[in-house]
Amino acid sequence: MIEYKVNAKLSADQFIDVLNRSTLGQRRPVEDRACMEAMVKNANLCVTAWDGGKLVGVARSLTDFHYACYMPDLAVDEAYQRSGIGTALIAHTQKQLGPRCKIRLIAAPAAVDYYPKIGFVKNPQCWELPRDKEVGR
Ligand SMILES: CC(C)(COP(=O)(O)OP(=O)(O)OC[C@H]1O[C@@H](n2cnc3c(N)ncnc32)[C@H](O)[C@@H]1OP(=O)(O)O)[C@@H](O)C(=O)NCCC(=O)NCCS
């Protein structure tokens, strides 16, 4: 029986550990302690999945709750994948959002076929500014 919690207390160590157990840790700066602590501290909507006392999944988002919700991290412990937890984490996130609010994210290569399967729509108009690129050039 998996329990879902909204904005439960979560330490940087717990967050890093579940990212590593999901494989997403390979694509996140888990060795940069300050960055990982800030990711946990400054996210304002974080849904977690628990098997008893064990953290088995996380959906970390930044949102205004009414118009936009960016979900940088969705991760499920490998031992628990493909049992509905990822979809449930997104559903619990969506429940916290108003009727106009869209969830946006960038798929990791291993998950490009996941999002269309669960109802996400591809947006070819999405743009990002790399940190080493000066805006205006
Ligand atoms: C991608 C991830 C979050 C999905 O969570 P999950 O709990 O395993 O997925 P669900 O159980 O909700 O899957 C729902 C459906 O999608 C399928 N699915 C799951 N992962 C998939 C993937 N990577 N690619 C394609 N389909 C996938 C499931 O088989 C299931 O289909 P079914 O209903 O026909 O059986 C999880 O596998 C994960 O943490 N992966 C590693 C980290 C990662 O890539 N995260 C995404 C960052 S953008």
Tell me, yes or no, if the pTM score tops 0.85. Answer: yes
pLDDT in tens, 42-88: 999 999 999 999 999 999 999 999 999 999 999 999 999 999 999 99
Residue 22 has pLDDT above 90, yes or no: yes
Q: Which fold has domain 3-117?
A: Aminopeptidase (3.40.630)
Out of 47, 83, 113, 114, mutate this one to test ligand 1's pocket (max ligand atoms within 8 Å of CB): namely: 114
C-alpha to C-alpha distance for 30 and 25, rounded to whole angstroms: 6
In Å, how far are 15, 28, 35, 91, 120 from 101, measured between CA atoms?
A: 25, 26, 27, 13, 14
Out of 82, 106, 118, mutate this one to test ligand 1's pocket (max ligand atoms within 8 Å of CB): namely: 82
Task: Specify whether the CB–CB gap between 69 and 45 falls below 8 A.
Answer: yes
Domain residue spans in the chain? 3-117
26-30: average pLDDT: 98
Q: Whose CA is nearest to atom 16 of ligand 1?
A: 114
